[in-house]
């Protein structure tokens, strides 16, 4: 993995966990063509300010952010989370859970899927205000179409924007490793290039007004 003690970008890449293996007969292959290609592409990029971390769960993301962000003091960083997606849900270690066990395992602690479930989101709430931009990199993760899932991508991006108080981007089409450069997956908000045939859905954090309390800290919000 590419390491930096003072990263500008933290890239979380989905991976298997020892707790997601399931039975030997039912377990999915340890390799994944998309994830393997992502890691190969990242390894080829000449970047010195990117921290690359494999994660299997939302709890893993929480632990890594808690270890990395204090070193940055008050300087926010960009965060990317890469995995397999569908509208409103980003699979982390869930991609390696046997299909018959997904419903019983993936949505329980340590949470192998990132979606709008309040429990895993609660793990991330302590990092509010420390991230400048969150990018969800998974096919159709930000799509407004539900695609059979009970929550669509706009719900997820808006929820995370409000929770973390930062801009959140989610892919509204398929993504591929060759769309990655030294700064990560590019989007119209941070590059002067157009995406290669796909769009990003963007959600901005709300502007708090004096009559409301900050939902993360519970303190009275400052006047905008």
Q: C-alpha angle with apex 39: 86 to 155, nearest 5 degrees?
A: 25
Mean pLDDT of the chain: 80
pLDDT tens digit sequence for 92-147 = 999 999 999 999 999 999 999 999 999 999 999 999 999 999 999 998 898 887 66
pLDDT tens digit sequence for 189-210 = 444 444 444 567 788 877 644 4
Picking from 220, 175, 132, 167, the residue whose alpha carbon sits closest to that of residue 38 is: 175
DSSP E strands, 42-130:
50-55, 77-82, 84-86, 89-91, 113-114
Is the full-model pTM beyond 0.85? Answer: no
**Exposure letters 185-210 (e unless 16+ CB within 10 A, then b):** bbbeeeeeeebeebebbbbebeebee
**Structural domain boundaries in the chain:** 9-203
Flag whether pLDDT at 187 surpasses 80. no
Flag whether pLDDT at 68 surpasses 80. yes
Token pair, residue 123, equals 């793990």
């Amino acid at each position: 993995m590419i390491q930096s003690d003072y990263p500008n970008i933290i890239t979380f890449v989905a991976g298997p966990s020892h707790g997601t293996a399931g039975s030997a007969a039912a377990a999915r292959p340890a390799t994944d063509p998309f994830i393997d290609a992502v890691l190969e592409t990242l390894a080829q990029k000449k970047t010195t300010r990117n921290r690359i971390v494999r994660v299997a769960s939302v709890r893993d993301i929480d632990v890594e952010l808690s270890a990395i962000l204090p070193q940055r003091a008050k300087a926010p960083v960009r965060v990317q989370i890469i995995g397999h997606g569908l509208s409103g849900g980003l699979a982390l270690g869930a991609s390696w859970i046997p299909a018959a066990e997904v419903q019983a395992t993936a949505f329980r602690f340590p949470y192998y899927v990132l979606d709008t479930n309040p429990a895993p989101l609660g793990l991330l709430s302590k990092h509010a205000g420390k991230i400048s931009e969150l990018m969800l990199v998974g096919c159709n993760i930000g799509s407004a179409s539900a695609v059979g899932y009970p929550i669509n991508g706009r719900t997820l991006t808006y929820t995370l924007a409000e929770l973390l108080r930062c801009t959140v981007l989610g892919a509204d089409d398929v993504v591929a490793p060759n769309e990655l450069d030294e700064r990560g997956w590019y989007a119209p908000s941070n590059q002067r290039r157009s995406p290669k045939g796909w769009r990003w859905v963007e959600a901005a954090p709300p502007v708090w007004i004096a009559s409301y309390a900050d939902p993360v800290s519970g303190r009275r919000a400052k006047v905008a």
